[in-house]
Structure 1
Amino acid sequence: MIIKTVQFVKSAVKPSQYPEYDFPEIAFAGRSNVGKSSLINTLIQRKDMVKTSSKPGCTQLINFFMINEILSFVDLPGYGYAKVSKKIRAQWQPMVELYLSHRQNLLGLILLIDIRRDPQKEEFDMMDWLETHDIPYLVILTKSDKLSKTNQQKRLLSICTRLGREKNGVILFSTKTKQGRDTVLEEIENLMGIYNE
């Protein structure tokens, strides 16, 4: 998949604010500070289309981006960041659940996990929910450049074991080296092919 055009569409907090179009959507979800915004910027090859921050918990809205005028990327608020107020965290979960359960356009989800961290309850809950609702998803291990090649493979095996997934069902990704970028875009293209059949 070659990304030629990218356009920020809008931000939303509830269904009435979602864009009114019929384009398929790929959502991106993960723990705060997992590198979600950076990953999307790497996929679309734009440095600051999606706002990034070293301070976790900055994405507090659902952000929609139009890709090639045929597909939308949806950046969901991160979860699990303790320093964000309980009030804000209490607003995020229903916002994300509402989007996932009601958005007819949702084609699939990309679940990001920091390669240096073990999957937690939130990741397992998300996977269970997606499987229950028959929504395809990819698991991506971000920040792979933080580890040596040997340790990348050790962590990959360990996380795959915990998740009950094959090694080829999880993608190593680095925004720094662009490791995994082409593979992720291929998987999105495969989903698009299924959608267009």
Structure 2
Amino acid sequence: MEIERLADACGGLVWISERLFQIEGRLASDSAEGEPLDARTRTLLARSSRRHGQHAQWWRTALPDSPALAGAKRVECPTEAWEHLLGYIEDAAPADAVAALYEVAVPQLALVIEHLGHELSPVSDGVVIRTARMVAADLAEEQDDAKDVWNPPNFPSDGGIEELIIGFADDYREKRWPPLVTHPR
């Protein structure tokens, strides 16, 4: 993978991980408005929030430190689909937010990490490969834990989940892998 695309991918993953850290932390603290979440769900969210905070640090470490690549400036929303999804989760009632997290956000992030791994070279991308493996393992564990705590499908009644999933279709149709790699604006 070209270094610019790799920097964009890492920057997008920093942005996603930081937002998930914030959102899940807020939901876990039970400070969100609406019907409160049960203790098991809040515990899952608290643990996941801490992990996403750690992932953000790992991805930030993987950003190139070359002044020419301006790694810190690459930390931005990777695609409109991610911006819409995380905005929805932030604004949704707690139960709808958790459904969107475990039905859309975590599976989409796992898919991005999987496809990112296919484009990396062990010769030049070792740090990113190791980071991707650790994050993928954490996401798989989070998905397994969510099945025990958050019994899918718990779809919001307004059909918001389906719309969010469809939002990612454009990323895949354009064959951008990882789909979070930003294009010049």
TM-score range, shorter chain: under 0.3
Structure with greater helix share of residues: 2
Bigger RCO (CA 8 Å, 6+ sep): 2
Structure with greater strand share of residues: 1
Q: TM-score, normalised by structure 2?
A: 0.27
